[in-house]
Structure formats: structure tokens, C-alpha cells
Structure 1
């Protein structure tokens, strides 16, 4: 054997060992995940429904994973700002996102030029967390006792009634836009950073109505300071017994379900995605977490990553039809 051939074989052998060492080190690093605190981005303010859900999940998840879960509120633009932030984070399993359907489903159609992220390309699904119908809330002193009376009131004062949303393109915005379209009324949208600010403005009389998740509204409803005129599920809700649906009140096929789900930046290693999915699904099944979700009028709804992707795709198709029919664009 020539000396040059022997040298080449030695170099090849050393390169192979080095490559194997790098692969082993990479595998060991992933196997050790997590070995430092994890950031859970919530694109809504403290006290909002997504924030409360995030904190209900973060504590037991932290215990199970053996590392702190730090909830980081980044509100603004109906959740788009925090969602965009998470989509640009390093895909190493140390940034996770708990967001709602607006930034994932309707925002890409409403902000075709300026959104700054693609939910299906820049984020990877982990699991659905929970679902809840929205509720149409008005002040306790409102002359409207049901949805039809609210519509009559709006028709008598065209363009004068204000309603709150958590931002253009959110479910709180599109649900009212649907009602405006079906009922032939015109209202003025007032955007807020979160539902707590909306319910405060309703109680103060600054705005006359708002579609929102019930967890924020029900304490004020029970205190007699606000009332619910209808819910946005097609069927009566087990978590909101006795409240009429919008469909039952003559608004055909009126449905607007809020959901919260967890995503990570695209490119996060598959084994970390699987570990997160298994850990979070386990947490969601805990009785104490279910109780906290029930207090927010949310139904637990864990899923596989594939099921969450299908939900986003199907919801986007349905809401695109609504947005295009209404001619809505926010660019």
C-alpha cells in the first residue's frame, strides 16, 4: 500500500469520526432539552384570556420539564406583534407561542402585504389547547334584551354605536362584521389591546357592545353590571347553559369560535416538537388545569400537530370567504 493511499484513508477515517462525534453531540444536546428556561410568548396583555390560559399551563409544564416557563406578554395589533416575534425566534425549543385564531387564521388575508410572517411556513404546530364560543356583551342598562333588539337599536342610530375589539381581524372584529352584514347595520369599531379593556369600557358606557370570550365577561354579568345577548356557537353551550345562540335568534349559520393553541418557530427539531406535544397534552388533562379552563368557560381540546394544522387550514378557508365577501383589507 502506498504511503499516500494510507494517508488518505487515515484522513477519511478521522473525518468520519469527527462527523460521528458532531452527530452524537447534536443528539445529546437535543436529548438534554430543556436545560435552561423556556420563554412562552403570549401576544396579549396580562389578565387577558390567553394570558390566564398560558399561566395555567406554564406552572405544571415547568414542573414536568424541570425548567422554568417564563410567560412573556407581547401585546399589540390583535396578537400579530407577539406572533410575529415568536415566528422569528431561534427554532431551538426555547421559545413557544400561545396564541389565538386571529393571528393564525384571518390576519394573513387581512394583511397580505404587511403581516411579516406566514403562519403555515414560519410556525410549527404543537397542540390545540381549548375552545370557547364568543358572547355578545352589552351594558346592563342597555335597552336591548336580545340580539334582535340590539340590531333594532343599531338601525335606529346608524353609525352611532361603538363596539370594542382586540384588534382588526380578530374574532371579536369579524363576528361583529358578520352581524353588521347579516343585519344590515353599521357600527364603529374601537380597537383595544385586550378583552379586560373592552369590558371596562362597556361598563363605563364608552362603547355599547362587544363580542368576546366569556371568561372576561361573566364575572361582570353575574354582578349585574353587563348582560349577554347571545353566544356564537351553532349549538347551545354546556359551559354557558341557558344562553341563546345567535343562530337561534334568526342569524343563520352564525358561528365564531375562539381557540387557543401552542406553536413553535418552524424548524424546531421534530423530537422537541413531539416532547412538547406529549408534555402539554398531559398537562391539559390534569384536573386542576381543566378547572382553571372551565373558570374561563373554555373546553379543553388537546390535539396532534397534524390536527392543529388541519384546523388552521380549514378555518382559514372558511374565514377567507367571510373576509372576501365583506371586502375587508387592513394593509
Structure 2
């Protein structure tokens, strides 16, 4: 099949444009000279409603669809709402993939997650490790949905010649992140915890787990840049990992956040709480071979994310 050639005036629909990844994508695409972005809020277009999605795509005829829409959350949210996570994510991606294909879309970019890989996959995780072992139980509902999205993109490529590609980002963070302690990921949760502890003059911050698990973190602006790069240059059914190729322990991450916030107290790790996957580091050699590398160091990224949080912290009170 021939690769769809994206141009600066291509009509690009960014699903989930108000989220962490979607908003970064909009910034990156506009900075890159893309002038024809199609954007709809959840109130304007319910991505779980197949009829609404198909009707919108038939009307607008997007050239490119980027699926940055998903129901996401950390360990607590995945454990508490497993039905919501598998149902909503399956509906969103099915409606977008099938709707885009039927409307004659030229390119589809599906954004997955590193949680698709087995809990005990060899490290760093290569793309071919997909479906090679059991998933991490605390987020398997989300992971199964994302795996189904990958396979749907591959199936539509094989059967219909649909130029759909799948990108697997590592843990993302940055401006626009979710800092709600009930359902946020580890890095924004730590930023808020340390900030509030610092304001309160607390002696310590309690952190879930042992602090031993290792995680990789990619700034969302780097993710947006990689997505734009692959949208323009990549066309294959093979999935592509997107990350830095470097990781830190949760303890090291907490120390970095504490330093950025200026917290002077102690760290206490609550080992009665689950650690999740022992290590999650992506092998990014495929992406590197294609010509892209991350540019924002973790320390710098945490600092700028904390600065963003300070400007928006009123949104997370209560």
C-alpha cells in the first residue's frame, strides 16, 4: 500500500485535544504550520457514540485522525473502575478507527501505552514482546483495550489497506496533566503531594509502595513532536515505542520532585500499598533508527511542569 502524504493544509482531527497529549499535539501541529485542525470537545462530540462519530467524519472528511482520546488513570483508578476503563476505551478507538476508514481518511495515528507489555517482560521492552506473557493485573483492563486498538489498526491495514499506525508512549507528564490525587499518575500526584506538604510545613511525605519500581518518563511535548514526526514519515503495521530509553526508581523520582518543589522533610514509603510492575523501560531503538530522539531532560521537565501547576493549582483544590 502507498503511504498517505500529509501536507500543511491536510485536515487533521485530533481526538482528545483538551487532554494532556491532545493539547500538546495541538501546540506542536500549529507550531509546525498545520493550519487545518479539526477539534471537538466531549460535549460537542461524544466519541463513545458511534453514530455521532460516523456522522461527523462523513461531514468533515478528515485527511488525518490522531487518536489521543482515552480514559486514563493510575493504579487506584484502574482497580476501582475496571468496567469503565475497558468499555470506554474500546468504544472510543473502535468508533474512531472504523469511522475514519469509512469516511476515506488517509492516515490514522493510534496512541497506545507501554502498559500493553507483559508485567515481567524482559527489560528494556521491545515491540515484539507484545502478547508474550501475562499483563500487570492492576491495569489489565486498560491494557487489553489498547491491545485491541493495535490489532484493529493492523487488521484494517491488512484487509482494507488503511494507513493506520500505532505508537506506544511510555509514562507521560507535563503541562495539562491531571493532578487529582484520586486518579492521577505517579509524577503529577507527587508534585501535588510535595507542594501541599511544603505549604503545610509537614515533616514527611508518604508515598505508595516501596520506592523500588523503576519508571521511564517522557515530557508530553516530546511525545507530541514524535507523533508529528511519525505521522509525516512512518507507514507500517509494526508498533513503535516512544520514550527516552532511560528510567529512574520511584524513590529517585520523588527526590527529584521534592527538590523541584523545595520540600525539606522526609520521605516515607508505605509498603502496604501495591508497587505495580517492577520495571517499565521501553526499547526505543526502532524510533531512534527512524531518526527521532527525546530532547527534554527529566529534571528540566519536572521543573517546568511544577511551574505550570503553580499557575493552575486552584483547579485542583477541594
Give the TM-score normalised by structure 1. 0.35
Greater C-alpha Rg: 1
The structure with higher relative contact order (CA 8 Å, sep 6+) is: 1
Give the TM-score normalised by structure 2. 0.36
